[in-house]
Homo-oligomer: A and B are copies of this chain.
């Protein structure tokens, strides 16, 4: 069933079949140098017959310049990360680079090293690193001993290397400010897991806004990024009888769970409680109600990181730090405290529904 069982067809195989030298075949394949039309046809025929595909390993080893970059990351099935990767892929391709991906099995420093090494083994021209290794210090970074250019995503800002990230703090600040501007004062926080850099930065932004307004968050909880944990945290919050009017949530998935928990208690968002998410992921405009959230363009982050890396490749001594600003998308999950207009609408809507139900 398969031709060439064992080893693959080589340049030389094609050459002997076409009755020319291996060099002539190379000229045809690479479209370089002068080849007689007649010879070219012969060679192309042989290539087709043998189904020859050049061996990239050999090409690269022999010194042909093949541009490639690597992406070392944690779990790429996470939505945000696969969006970043799509951006990287896109921009790399645009610049004629191919992309090699290596995923880390764990969040520890060791598996980060493993993934990066896998890329170095392939001799990529540069690496984009998306590690979760909490607080990788400059020291640990040096242990990586990178001899090729690299760019970090969401790294410790103090890390002495090229890096790019969304400005988590600023985004969180925006979210909190929005609630404050609407008059909310009893605000709870449902953050992601502790010890994660992104979470700490977001918490910092939220706190800053609240402190400026001279208030303390009612409560700070930690979820696990998923809807279920958002549901659990919110349920806990509500069952404790806190008087809260708004919740800041660490991502949209947890927000979905939060919305449900509130609704399960017979309360209404935003009339009883306002909710602000984080990420602006695909579907959150269709949540019930549509979610007010912070928007992060993950694809753009990926694209920018490639540009940064390419700079670094052509100018290795240059360390750049770049931050992407976030903005807030206001939808239906937040409203001004004490605004009665909404309540009137709510009552009307409820009566309409009740009417319908009674007719059945």
Residues of A at the B interface (CB closer than 8 Å) are: 1-5, 8-9, 51, 53-58, 60-61, 75-77, 79, 82-83, 85-86, 89, 93, 98, 100-101, 103, 105, 117-118, 120-123, 145-149, 226-228, 231, 253, 256-257, 259-260, 263, 266-268, 271-272, 282-283, 285-288, 316-317, 340, 343, 346-347, 349-354, 356-358, 360
Contacts and interface: CB of A to CB of B under 8 A. Distances in A.
Given A55-B61, A287-B288, 11 more contacts: A2-B316, A53-B121, A56-B122, A57-B57, A76-B76, A82-B82, A228-B286, A256-B286, A260-B288, A350-B354, A350-B357
A288 B317 contact: no
A146 B113 CA distance: 35
B316 A148 contact: no
Contacts of A286: 227-228, 231, 256-257, 259-260
A285 B230 CA distance: 13
A282 B229 CA distance: 13
Nearest to A56: B121
A22 to B, nearest CB: 16
A2 B51 contact: no
A350 B287 CA distance: 20
Contact of A268 (B98, B260, B353): B353
A271 B357 contact: yes
A316 B357 contact: no
Contacts of A360: 271, 340, 343
Among A286, A357, A358, residue most surrounded by chain B Cβ atoms (within 10 Å): A286
Among A2, A57, A83, A253, residue most surrounded by chain B Cβ atoms (within 10 Å): A57
A100 B100 contact: yes
Contact of A86 (B75, B117, B350): B75
A53 B263 CA distance: 56
A248 B83 CA distance: 29
Contact of A53 (B85, B120, B317, B346): B120
B61 A89 contact: no
Contacts of A61: 55, 57-58, 61
Nearest to A285: B227
A31 to B, nearest CB: 16
A86 B76 contact: yes
Given A86-B75, A256-B286, A8 B272 contact: no
A360 B147 CA distance: 65
Contact of A147 (B51, B75, B93, B148): B51
A87 to B, nearest CB: 9
A145 B55 CA distance: 16
Nearest to A290: B260
A316 B5 contact: yes
A121 B54 contact: yes
Contacts of A4: 147
A288 B285 contact: no
Given A61-B58, A75-B86, A100-B100, A266 B352 contact: yes
A231 B60 CA distance: 50
Given A82-B77, A83-B77, A123-B55, A358 B352 contact: no
